[in-house]
Amino acid sequence: MNRPIRVLLVEDDDDFAFLTGQMLQEEPELELAGRAASRQEAVELARALRPQLTLMDLTLSPGQMDGIDAARAIRLDTDAKVILLSVYEDPKIVLEASRRSFASAYLFKSQFGLIPDTLRAVARSHSPQEPMILSLILGQLSTAEQSVFRRMLGENVPLSSAPKTIANQQSAVLRKLGLHSKEELLHVFAAYQF
């Protein structure tokens, strides 16, 4: 039998966390690895528990979208994919948060019943939202930078620019994506399907 998919729940609302935990207990393929209620606790638990997935509340403090920073830190520091949860049912807000945090999927909290299926889909392969999130992430790059980005990922992309120009474009790619190194880029984008 396959091992269950380990999920870290990051949620500051005790009632919602309780209901989500109960739901996950009823799913034999899913296992609640732990729960955090703050950004710092979320990052520490993700590092310690090494879950496959993190189900991240977008707002961990009243009026603050601190789930974005927590999700991004988890994506950079672990192999866990992130699914954002939001009470804000504005797709613009959630898509921007997904782009900034390198999320693999998002759900509105009103879609509570979709949590198990979404977790399984992301763990097995990819979510229906992933192409849109990836498009927003890469949309920050110029056409030339996108070619350099693909080369940085190891694709055999022909580049006609001078080596210095390519080096400058690599720096621009990292800067625009908010990454510090090619290693971070490779780590983050290993979670996405191209």
Mean pLDDT estimate for the chain = 93
pLDDT of res. 63: 62
CA dihedral 114→116→121→126, nearest 10 degrees, is: 70
What's the pLDDT tens digit per position in 25-64?
Answer: 999 999 999 999 998 999 999 999 999 999 999 987 766 7
Q: Write down the pLDDT at residue 189.
A: 95
Locate all alpha helices (DSSP H) within 50-162, ordered by sequence.
67-77, 91-101, 115-124, 130-138, 143-152
In the chain, ranges of CATH 3.40.50.2300 domains: 5-128
CATH topology of domain 5-128: Rossmann fold (3.40.50)
pLDDT for position 12: 92
Map tokens 């977008």 to a residue.
58
Q: What is the pLDDT of residue 193?
A: 82
